[in-house]
Structure formats: C-alpha cells, structure tokens
Amino acid sequence: SQQGEEDPQALSIQEGENATMNCSYKTSINNLQWYRQNSGRGLVHLILIRSNEREKHSGRLRVTLDTSKKSSSLLITASRAADTASYFCATASVNRDDKIIFGKGTRLHILP
C-alpha cells in the first residue's frame, strides 16, 4: 500500500525554470523524505524533514511541510538537464517511524 501521492505524475519544464512537486499523505507522520531516482538506478536520498519542521533547504532544493494539510512540496530552482529523474516522497508514520512508505512518484523531464 502507498501512503504518499505525488502531484503531478509527470512534469516537463525548460532548463533554468523552477520545478515544483507536491506530496499528500494520509496518516500522521514522524518525518517525510524526498528521494530521486534516475532511470534504471537506485534511489538517492535528498532531504528529510521532521514533523516539527516547516521548511528545509539543501543547495537548489527547498522542501516545505504542512502537517495540518498533510502535504509537502519539493522545489528545484534553476533546473538542469541532470535533474531529469523520478522524484518520490516517502513518509514514516508516527506509530511506525522505523519504516518509510513511498508514493508513486513524479517523473520530471528537463527540456534543453
């Protein structure tokens, strides 16, 4: 079963533009994580945001968390061709923070 739902399912933008992906989830969480997956490869951990945090930055990445709306967003600024990948949110529920459940992902394509 999947906890998170990413939106949109697919996104194509021009290189240099900002990309925003959203994630909604159902149950109360301990933390929420974003991962990137290039075609045919393993997942790479991007950012972990805890339930008591509202915003976190890492380089060109900005993640926000709104626990009242049970949603998160991932913003990639000044996109590059190398950002083309699938992006997944994953949540650790407050009752079971020892495992994370993934959504179906957003496929991001950066156009040259």
Q: Which amino acid is at 72?
A: S
Q: Would you give the binding string for other proteins spanning residues 29-48, x where CB under 8 A is met?
A: -xx-x-x-----xxxxx--x
Tell which positions 53-112 bind other proteins, by CB under 8 A: 88, 92, 96-105
Closer to other proteins by Cβ: residue 74 or 88:
88
Is 18 or 38 the residue whose CB approaches other proteins more closely?
38
SS3 97: coil
- Count residues binding other proteins (CB under 8 A): 24
Contact 62, 55 (CB under 8 A): yes
Determine the interface stretch with other proteins among 14-22, 25-33, 65-73, 74-82 (rule: CB under 8 A).
25-33
Question: Does the protein bind other proteins through residue 22 (CB under 8 A)?
Answer: no
Residues 6+ apart with CB under 8 A from 72: 22, 23, 25, 32, 34, 49, 63, 64, 65, 66, 89
